[in-house]
Amino acid sequence: MKILGLDPGLRFTGWGLIDSTGNRLKFLSCGRVVVPDNTDLATRLAFLYAELSKIITALQPDQAAVEETFSNVNAKSTLKLGMARGVVMLAPAQYNIPVSEYSANTVKKTVVGAGHAGKNQVQHMVKMLLPLAQFANADAADALAIAICHAHHAQTMHRIHS
């Protein structure tokens, strides 16, 4: 099963693709969408959707996983992040790809073992679990962590329902 992890952001959206077979994980690809910040919000959201659509078409994932939005001190920033997250969830859904959601704490607890792990700890464990992974930024590493989290949770759910 190919899983596309997505770490939503209005400026940077990380993505990571892994293959999950049984309890084996394999790195396939990762990167980030850089959204131009010199245009209006609607244009930025349209750009994000178009770029994610290209990625989904090229990679053909079976499932997608998205990190849930956390509340920010700035309500306006939280609202804009929520809009970007909506686009990130819409893109795979438009291709009939099931989308699961995980809180940041669930992702960290699944990947690192601690719900309040730092970015460096997450990146280190992603590298341990996916030794061939090459990520140039935290956004891609976080997206891979989200995909790993989904692989573990999907496997557990499969065992429960089998």
- Strand, helix or coil at 40? coil
Token representation of residue 141: 């590493």
List all residues 6 or more positions away from 19 whose beta carbon is below 8 Å from its beta carbon: 1, 2, 3, 25, 26, 28
Q: Residues 37, 68, 101, 139: which is the catalytic one?
A: 139
Residue of 68, 67, 64 lying closest to 99 (CA atoms) = 64
Q: Residues 40, 62, 67, 68: which is the catalytic one?
A: 67
Q: Residues 7, 37, 51, 142: which is the catalytic one?
A: 7
Known active-site residue 67: yes
Known active-site residue 139: yes
Q: What are the residue numbers of the active site?
A: 7, 67, 139
